[in-house]
Amino acid sequence: MRFFERLADRIDAVDSVVSVGLDPDPDRLPEHLLDRDLPRWAFNRRIIDATHEHAAAFKPNAAFYEDPDGWRALEETIAYAKGKDVPVILDAKRADIGNTTRQYADLLDDEADGPAADAITVNPYMGRDSLQPFLDKEDKGVFILCRTSNPGGADIQDLELAEGDLVYERVAALADGWNGNDNVGLVVGATTPDELEEVREQVPDIPFLVPGVGSQGGDAEAAVEHGLADGVGVVNSSRGIIFAWEDDQSRRRATEGDEEQFAGASGEAARRLKRRLNQYR
């Protein structure tokens, strides 16, 4: 079964298009987890337990695992999430040339030391040959950066080309042409709802990964209305879910002896986002 088929099944099973970003910033982990062998894994396991019933996907960002213990934590995280039947999107934004990009694409291959992610984010700046090893993996999802949610995305993505289209519009058109295996998605942020709508009009059949809803204040209605292709796509929140416990009420409960309150707060945040997004589905 191909990635977007598995994702569609998961969306139907939990009635949700929420992607939970697993970005375990070591400076923000609960203090009682810091003496564990792998604090990031200990944190993620509790977040997964609390949120999986509301999650269409989990999205760990590779930046939070770029060290030996981090890769171990990531392997455990991916295995545990997949054990809950939740697809995993590795937010790695990889791409390069030749043998280098083939090595990056191996992140999607199951190996003896642990299962691989189901999908990955990639950067199209170096062109098709830098993405081809990812595109060739027919059963894996490939989310191509198109119109990102950060304010600086406009510096390059909104530039007008000689033919009159904008860079992000050209990326969407190229991605549509590269989708021979029906495994391509686009990353289009909810913080630019007009551009999100424009990209959807341009590529009606490609699912989107929509970041920016949550702590970045993106447009949830636009994320659902334009982010889904035939009901398939995900809307991601990372900090707004996994660090929901940092509000004052949760901190007070934690000081009263409930050390696991952070996980419950994350589960409630995921449930609220699911309910919010489902208003527009």
Give mean pLDDT, residues 229-235: 97
**For position 52, what pLDDT does the model report?**
98
* Ranges of H-type helices in 57-182: 68-83, 98-105, 128-135, 154-157, 167-177
pLDDT at 30 over 50: yes
Given the structure tokens 């083939």, which residue do they identify?
A: 102
Residue 112 pLDDT class (50, 70, 90 cuts)? very low
Pairing relationship of beta strands 119-122 and 141-147 according to DSSP bridges? parallel
Quick check: is 84 catalytic?
A: no
DSSP code at position 161: P
From 82, 84, 93, 137, active-site residue: 93
Residue 253 pLDDT class (50, 70, 90 cuts)? low
Buried b (16+ CB within 10 A) or exposed e, 190-217: bbbbebbebbbebbeebbbbbbbbbebe
CB atoms closer than 10 angstroms to residue 14: 17
Give mean pLDDT, residues 219-247: 94
Instruction: Tell me, yes or no, if the pTM score tops 0.75.
Output: yes
Residue-level length of the chain: 281
Residue 111 pLDDT class (50, 70, 90 cuts)? low
**For position 202, what pLDDT does the model report?**
97
Residue 215 pLDDT class (50, 70, 90 cuts)? low
